[in-house]
Structure 1
Amino acid sequence: MKAFIIDDEHANREVIQIMLRKYFPGIEIIGEADNPKTFLNSPSLQQSTDLLFLDILMPEKTGFDLLNQLSSRSFEVILVTGFEEFALQAFEHSVIDYVLKPIDKDRFCSAVEKAEKRISERKLVQSVKTQLDQAKIAVIKNNKTIYIEASGIAYMVGESGGYTTIFCKNGESYLLSKSLSAMENESSEIPFLIRVNQSVIINMEDIVSADKGGSGYVGLRTNQFEVFLPRRKKREVLQQIEAYWKFR
């Protein structure tokens, strides 16, 4: 695990480094800065960081300014600040924890342990997903068996007579002489493929919108396909989608 520290006061950065080296020797400190600019202007540094220790009130830019300017992030954030009144705003930015200065050892260790757990879970999910992205499904086209990557599937639609049509992200489609239930069983170990109603299996990676009100719909990028969510299944499907994207 790799950590980066941003705080305008050298003494505070030093305290964090000392505590990490003493209590979490497995965490590599890859750098520090006295303002957010260095981190903000380096996408490679952002990608290398697993855990960011971030002060809030600093000259020029605040810690919240930094978080607002990052459209997405793959690292966890622990805010380390002397001001407790920013706690609510902090959690609105989905930080993993909020530690007050002067830093209490037990509170600091608790926050880092929480971050370690979340990061380990994310990396495990990513590792499994990478393996499953390589999974293939056999289809027949022009009397030939073709193996298509599961990650390239956008959605499957069950047809009458026990058939299923697979629609791919690249615009290709395939008609299989298998029922949707059979396809659901075959893809049960692939986490991004889920059945959302009686007739449709979708790839959650292709989702662009979700309507939680009323009956509920999920919109896909491919073919701008909209999937109806039956009322009895809507909550379950939306929870599956939320759980999947939690670690993306």
Structure 2
Amino acid sequence: MKAYLIDDEQANREVLHILVQKYYPEITIIGESDNLDTFLNSRQLQENTDLLFLDILMPDSTGFDLLNRLKKRRFEVILVTGFEQFALQAFEHSVIDYILKPIDKDRFCAAIEKARKRISEKKLIDSVKSQLDDRCKIAVIKNKKTHYINCSGVAYMVGQSGGYTSIFCKNGDSYLVSKSLSTLENEHKEVPYLIRASQSVIINLDDIASCDQGGSGYIGLKTNDFEVFLPRRKKREVLQQVDAYLKSQS
């Protein structure tokens, strides 16, 4: 596990170093800073970090400023602060735990164990998803050549008349295949992120940009700003699938 520390006081960072080294030497601290900018401006740090220890009140910003700007994060966050009044706000940002200063050893270890469990679960999910992506490919023909595209790269599929389906990919490519939407659905029914959102559309849940739950409802995708209309009889079922999948990825 790789950790990063953000706290404007060096003494507080040193305490975290000591606790990690004493009780969890297998955790590697890959860096630290006394401000948010170093971490915010480095995609590499964000991608390499499994666990972020984050102070809340700093001279020109708060830890919540970072969490607001990095809403889609893969790393877990333990907030370390001297103030109790931010606890509710902290958990609204889906942090793994909230530790008060001065840090209690048992409280620290409990937070680390929660983080280790969550990170382990995520890595297992990522591994299964990666194996699934390797197996899950769709054969398409373009320029008289057969290409195999990963299901994870598909944004949505639209059924056409005559048993054809148009496939639209996240990278902007599109294909017309001589298979019905139902056939593609049955061939890839084990893929959790591909769901039948309506009679004529299959969507990739990883491409969702918005969900309008009023009235009949719409799902907006990132790719092509595509919108899927949800009929009333289908809306509840689809939104439940969306919610369950997104929770499994958080």
Question: Structures share a fold, TM > 0.5?
Answer: yes
Unaligned runs of 5+ in 1: none
Farther-moved stretch of structure 1 (152-161 vs 14-23): 152-161
Where does 1:33-182 land on structure 2 (aligned, <5 Å)? Answer: 33-70=33-70, 72-134=72-134, 135-139=136-140, 145-159=146-160, 163-169=163-169, 170-177=172-179, 179-182=180-183
CA drift of 1:167 comes to 2.0
Q: Structure 2-normalised TM-score?
A: 0.83
Letter in 2 for 1:54: L
Structure 2 vs 1, CA of residues 88 and 171 (structure 1 numbering), >3 Å: closer, same or farther?
same
Q: Structure 1-normalised TM-score?
A: 0.84
Q: Are the counterparts in 1 of residues 159 and 201 from structure 2 also a CA contact under 8 Å?
A: yes
Structure 2 vs 1, CA of residues 206 and 41 (structure 1 numbering), >3 Å: closer, same or farther?
closer
CA drift of 1:164 comes to 4.0
Structure 2 vs 1, CA of residues 238 and 36 (structure 1 numbering), >3 Å: closer, same or farther?
same
Aligned to 1:236: 237
Between the aligned partners of 1:143 and 1:12, the Cα distance in structure 2 is 63
SS of the residue 1:119 aligns to: helix
Structure 2 vs 1, CA of residues 99 and 172 (structure 1 numbering), >3 Å: closer, same or farther?
same
CA drift of 1:187 comes to 0.7
Q: Are the counterparts in 2 of residues 82 and 102 from structure 1 also a CA contact under 8 Å?
A: yes
Structure 2 vs 1, CA of residues 55 and 146 (structure 1 numbering), >3 Å: closer, same or farther?
closer
Structure 2 vs 1, CA of residues 155 and 32 (structure 1 numbering), >3 Å: closer, same or farther?
closer
Q: What's the CA shift string for 1:57-87, capped at 9, x where partnerless?
A: 2223332233334464321111111110011
Aligned to 1:8: 8
Unaligned runs of 5+ in 2: none
Q: What's the CA shift string for 1:207-227, capped at 9, x where partnerless?
A: 332211121111234454322
Aligned to 2:201: 200
Letter in 1 for 2:213: K
CA drift of 1:32 comes to 2.3
Aligned to 2:184: 183
Farther-moved stretch of structure 1 (149-158 vs 3-12): 149-158
Counting aligned pairs with the same residue, the percent is: 69
- Matched pairs, number: 246
Letter in 2 for 1:233: K
CA drift of 1:173 comes to 2.9
**Structure 1 vs Structure 2 CA RMSD:** 2.7
Structure 2 vs 1, CA of residues 164 and 222 (structure 1 numbering), >3 Å: closer, same or farther?
farther
